[in-house]
Amino acid sequence: QVQLVESGGGLVQAGGSLRLSCAASGRTFSIYVMGWFRQSPGKEREFVAALSWSGSRTYYADSMKGRFTISRDNAKNTVYLQMNSLKPEDTAVYYCTAGQVLSSESSAFGSWGQGTQVTVSS
């Protein structure tokens, strides 16, 4: 019973930056982890990054390390994904997610946002 709303997607040229936001509402007391996945047409949903509220630990997929940064604003129940040095291969629908167990598997998360499109042009 957690609602997630993403924002910040759009069109950007290769090498540019974009910041995604995800605001959580509802039964936020049940959230242990918030994170981001992405999915391109014909591909599996791919883990991007996640943040553990307890201890403020962060985790990244190898391909995102050094370019993407996940952070949070506890007062706003909001998680952010700062994306730098964007590449055309980063083009995807980005989904915010929340759950109780840290995992890189999408099946481990119980709440999902509607997704926001990120398009990186060459």
DSSP class of 104: S
45-64 pLDDT, tens digit each: 999 999 998 777 999 999 88
Sign of the torsion formed by the C-alpha atoms of 38, 27, 72 and 116? positive
With a pLDDT cut of 70, the percent of the chain lying above it is: 100
Residue 82, exposed/middle/buried by CB under 10 A (0-12, 13-18, 19+)?
Answer: middle
pLDDT above 80 (res 71): yes
| Residue 3: predicted pLDDT | 96
